[in-house]
Structure 1
């Protein structure tokens, strides 16, 4: 890259700051290289250091376990985990990095990004636009509702914080979700995971995947092996329960929810 002799001097406030640690996430290698080179061109006015480059959101989260970043430049459309789902996971970190989306979307999508207060770069990325976006860092945490508006489809993973790490739990592996105090427990065949999310929000996000059994429990529809009537015992009235495949567990169904459960299961 050539130096520009007419480049403006480094502002005093920029010179006193350490370089931003930037993680570049794009499934196309040329796009990653272009962003890296543009950041190098802007180093005089916006000092940065590349903390890593990843081809999708899953790779990005793994890299962040090894080294934190101040800024993530994330493509929207990527295999395995796209940029929007990645941003939703990042937002749950104790110190979430700023996120700038890189996109080839048309003008209508760009307006949606602006309304959601999420910065964006249109491909092909131009140095002036990148410099303007860097000038907005650090950015506030992106509201999860705004991210849901950009990608109204279901997530493919839940974020689980364990021992300072972010674990990715595949939504398809969850057999049921149960509210316990201020957390939600997600049960898989192997074990339980604690989610920092509300049961109501999960029910709204996954209406076709999870079915409410009672006020504290959602079950994955494809995890239901059958139902049975549990008779009166120890003073407890008879009620219906669903049988969970691979676990042999029974989850009670409330009287209020039973008509909806029966209809959903085609009984």
Structure 2
């Protein structure tokens, strides 16, 4: 069986070295390199488009590390590829195996060790691969630095640090940055629990980034409310950096938001 490989490393010499090692083991480990990437977004695009069997993935990369990338692949793809981590450092080895990585190799990679890892990954049933990486996605929620958004046939990585607010709609959550809006299928409650260090609830349907709060202003409702507010009653809205839109502050959350802007 010829396996389809995708290489991800931010350093070109490291990818070249990996290609050399793969060339050395080609006779006993039939494979084809279908693509390469030097960053997480390019890797995500390439993996979605090319559908490799195995991804040889560096851990430490600018913007998003390999473990988080593997987690996003597991949560967004119906049948994600097998993941073999390759790193110059052993710091992430325990974390990798906690999230059920198929293997963790140290640079410089030995040919026999790489051949063995690829052979074992190639024999692993797709369902087991899917379950392993999906479990990684779930267990890595607390370390999330990006949202993976499906748009126009691709997966777009939106840095959490750029998000101004998260707002629950009928079936989706709107992810609002300073320049765009994106939709994700996640629970606002689970996002609040996961990202409480960065976001604070202002209303039952909205979380805002703590560092995006510029102040508050008074507003008067023009229609009869069915919940916490009533017609003609003064209420408060949060002023956010980077967007003109104001979001209402519920009575329940007023004390929390007021304390943040003092």
- TM-score range with shorter-chain normalisation? 0.7 to 0.9
Q: How does 1:121-200 map to 2 (within 5 A)?
A: 121-134=105-118, 135-137=120-122, 138=124, 139-141=129-131, 142=133, 143=135, 144-148=137-141, 153-155=143-145, 157-200=146-189
- How far apart, in 2, do the equivalents of 1:218 and 1:163 lie? 26
1:251 matched to 2:251:
no
Contact 2:213 2:261 in 1 (8 A): no
SS at match of 2:52: coil
| Unmatched segments (≥5 aa) in structure 2 | none
- How far apart, in 2, do the equivalents of 1:48 and 1:94 lie? 23
1:38 matched to 2:21:
yes
Query: Following TM superposition, by how much is the alpha carbon of 1:153 offset from its aligned partner in structure 2, in angstroms?
Result: 4.2
Relative distance call for 1:27 and 1:248 in structure 2 (3 A) is closer
TM-score, length of structure 1 as denominator length:
0.80
- How far apart, in 2, do the equivalents of 1:242 and 1:162 lie? 29
Relative distance call for 1:234 and 1:52 in structure 2 (3 A) is closer
Higher helix share: 2
- How far apart, in 1, do the equivalents of 2:162 and 2:143 lie? 18
Equivalent in the alignment of 1:97: 81
| Unmatched segments (≥5 aa) in structure 1 | 1-13
TM-score, length of structure 2 as denominator length:
0.81
Query: Following TM superposition, by how much is the alpha carbon of 1:48 offset from its aligned partner in structure 2, in angstroms?
Result: 1.2
Contact 1:51 1:69 in 2 (8 A): yes
Equivalent in the alignment of 2:261: 266
Relative distance call for 1:189 and 1:111 in structure 2 (3 A) is closer
- How far apart, in 1, do the equivalents of 2:82 and 2:188 lie? 27
Aligned length: 244
Relative distance call for 1:37 and 1:201 in structure 2 (3 A) is farther
- How far apart, in 2, do the equivalents of 1:205 and 1:46 lie? 41
- How far apart, in 2, do the equivalents of 1:49 and 1:197 lie? 36
Equivalent in the alignment of 2:35: 52
SS at match of 2:261: coil
Query: Following TM superposition, by how much is the alpha carbon of 1:166 offset from its aligned partner in structure 2, in angstroms?
Result: 1.1
Query: Following TM superposition, by how much is the alpha carbon of 1:59 offset from its aligned partner in structure 2, in angstroms?
Result: 2.6
- How far apart, in 1, do the equivalents of 2:37 and 2:111 lie? 21
Deviations 1:140-165 (A, max 9, x none): 341213345xxx6441x321112221
Contact 1:173 1:188 in 2 (8 A): yes
- How far apart, in 2, do the equivalents of 1:115 and 1:171 lie? 24
- How far apart, in 2, do the equivalents of 1:262 and 1:111 lie? 42
